[in-house]
Chain A
Amino acid sequence: MHTNDSILIDAALSSIPSNVKNASKVCVHTAQWCWEKSQVATSGANSLVYQTQMLIDTTPANYAYFLYDNLYYLTAQKEWVYDATAQKIYYTKKVL
């Protein structure tokens, strides 16, 4: 059954600081053809509350997702992130 969903629960979220989670966006693979995105509104140790609801089939719980849009995630080579407040782009490899 598909329903409008607003909270994602995952024990793996406990490894990310709450201030980082709260200043992130989340992208969830809600259907084979669909990736839905939302700003994170609030978070708990193991949960995220979306700012924009997503249409979720609640029966299979194992949806793939990732977090983005925060400098905290800038860890691998060739990764970039944009800080809209500071109007700066950050990149992990030197550009000349």
Chain B
Amino acid sequence: MKTSSYFFAFALFFSLQAKCQSYYVSSSASSNGNGSQQTPWNSFASLNALLATATLIDTIYLKRGDVFRDRINITLADNFVITAYGSGSSPVISGADQVTNWTQVGGQSYWQASISQNPTSFFVNDKEQILARYPDENTYLATDAYQ
């Protein structure tokens, strides 16, 4: 009787899958939570600290209606989704600082506010305003000559 030997190869595949977390951020939250939907982070500081440790992240949820005057430090190695949660208008990540505490300059028709950085542009209600100049916008002086 012919005997056949059968060799069975078993390949065991182990999938070592790291646990990917999702986090929630709301700039309107009164205090910095743990990144859950119930107690979201209130800035990108905790997120950036986590990204610096190369922790795997699945999704970052930004609360609708919030404005984030902040930045997320993303590298090419990062691979996650940034999306919105809640209701209302889309969340905004803005590079602009808000200017507050305007006071009218005595005897003048203009207003003033303190800001420490030289602005490149100035917006009011999302509309860019005009850098003061002479002559006024869309008009120019013309040179007579050069030396």
Q: Which residues of chain A come closer than 8 Å to B104, judged between CB atoms?
A: 94
Rounded to whole Å, the gap between the CB of B81 and the closest CB of chain A is 36
Size of the A side of the interface (Cβ < 8 Å), in residues, is: 46
Say yes or no: A29 contacts B140, CB within 8 Å: yes
Mark A residues whose CB is within 8 Å of B.
Answer: 5-13, 16, 28-29, 46, 56, 58, 61-68, 70-76, 78-82, 84, 87-96
Q: B105 in the interface, Cβ–Cβ < 8 Å?
A: yes
Q: Which residues of chain A come closer than 8 Å to B115, judged between CB atoms?
A: 82, 87-89
Rounded to whole Å, the gap between the CB of A3 and the closest CB of chain B is 8
Q: Choose, from B16-24, B27-35, B125-133, the stretch at the interface.
A: B125-133
Task: State the CA gap A16–B135 with chains docked (Å).
Answer: 11
Size of the B side of the interface (Cβ < 8 Å), in residues, is: 34
6 pairs of residues in contact across A and B, judged by CB atoms under 8 Å? A10-B141, A63-B142, A68-B133, A72-B134, A88-B114, A91-B129
Rounded to whole Å, the gap between the CB of B8 and the closest CB of chain A is 74
Say yes or no: A64 contacts B140, CB within 8 Å: yes
Rounded to whole Å, the gap between the CB of A68 and the closest CB of chain B is 4
With A10-B142, A90-B105, A92-B109 as known contacts, state yes or no: A84 contacts B118, CB within 8 Å: yes
Which residues B84-130 have CB closer than 8 A to chain A?
A: 99, 102, 104-105, 109-116, 118-119, 122, 124, 129-130
- Report the nearest A residue to B136, measured CB to CB: A76
Q: B147 in the interface, Cβ–Cβ < 8 Å?
A: yes
Q: Which residues of chain A come closer than 8 Å to B124, judged between CB atoms?
A: 78, 91, 93, 95
Q: Which residues of chain A come closer than 8 Å to B102, judged between CB atoms?
A: 91, 94-96
